[in-house]
Amino acid sequence: MKAQVKEDWFRQDRLPHIFCVGCGNGTVINCVVDAVYDLELDIDKTVFISGIGCSSRAPGYMATDSLHTTHGRALAFATGVKLGRPEFDVIVFTGDGDLAAIGGNHFIHACRRNIDLTVVCMNNQIYGMTGGQGSPCTPIGKLSTTTPYGANETPFDLCELAVAAGANYVARWTSYHAKELRNAVIKGIETPGLSFIEVACQCPTSFGNKNKLRQPIDHVNFFRKNAIFLQKAKKMEEERKEIPAEAVIVGEYARRSRPVIGGRI
């Protein structure tokens, strides 16, 4: 069944969703739905898969078939769906705690095998659902429930990890760059092989509350001011200029054609 209007992609009986006021996950859902609506995908032949966490509630609001799986194992389930039914478009919603902490091994091996999936990672830099514990993506010096004096571990750079592991399309955007994010999801679905799109999004309740970004607008303005394009960051590196510590480097990290598993026959 093809969608006539964009609202057909949502389960009307489940909305409004339970995300907090100003949560970035809603923006990401909007962008992904806009992308799949623009591509005119079949509602019956699209599958949304997620693990555990705030971000992973997203498939519950979709009208398509969806799987809400165990913590960190969304990519393992998605691999099974894609290899079982290669004609389906499989989109995985995960968070940073789900993908980088517990499902880290599944992530690098899904990238290595280059399975034809689209992975959208909503990186809110914290474990939002369980009360704001520090995650592997919490930046240095930021406060959370488990790092009350500021995190002192170096955070993961998920995009560089995906590039090194061999994903075919890798991009990072923030929840402020909604149009670019939508275009990145369109490119990701069109590219055969694993396409990984990381979205830095705001969490006003758990992250912003402790880090002087209390209002959703403050955090989105933070992304707007601190986002640096990848090309500019590379140029700054060449000129030996220092990139600010809290900068979010956005852009398209990789687009290539390595051999693919589970592509359309």
Partner 1 sequence: MMKQLTINETRCKGCNLCTMVCPYKIYQIGTTPNRRGIYVPVLHESGRCTNCRLQELYGRELCGGCALICPDQAISWIPVPQYKKSNIIIEY
Which stretches of the chain bind partner 1, using CB under 8 A?
7, 10, 15-17, 19, 21-27, 29-31, 34, 175-176, 178-179, 182, 215-217, 220-221
Smaller CB distance to partner 1: residue 79 or 125? 125
d(CA 224, CA 209): 19
The three-class DSSP label of residue 145 is coil
Alpha carbons 111 and 97: distance in angstroms, whole number: 18
Residue 216 C-beta: closest distance to partner 1, Å: 5
3-class SS at 18? coil
Least CB distance from residue 117 to partner 1, whole Å? Answer: 23
Q: In the complex with partner 1, which residue's Cβ is closer, 11 or 258?
A: 11
d(CA 52, CA 45): 23
Give the C-alpha separation, 233 to 237, whole Å: 6
Least CB distance to partner 1 at residue 13 (A): 13
> Measured from the CB of residue 2, what is the shortest distance to partner 1 in angstroms?
18
Pairing of strands 118-123, 89-95: parallel
Q: Which is nearer to partner 1, 17 or 210 (CB)?
A: 17
**One-letter amino acid of 10:** F
For residue 110, the number of C-alpha atoms closer than 13 Å in the C-beta half-sphere is: 28
Decide whether 23 or 52 has the Cβ nearer to partner 1: 23
Say if residue 16 is preceded by a cis peptide, omega within 30 of 0.
Answer: yes
Adjacent-strand bridge partners of 125: none
To partner 1, the closest distance from the beta carbon of 26 in angstroms equals: 3
Q: CB 230 → partner 1: shortest distance, Å?
A: 22
Instruction: Output 9 or 77, the one with its CB closest to partner 1.
Output: 9
Rounded distance, CA 109 to CA 187, Å?
Answer: 22
Nearer Cβ to partner 1, position 18 or 140? 18
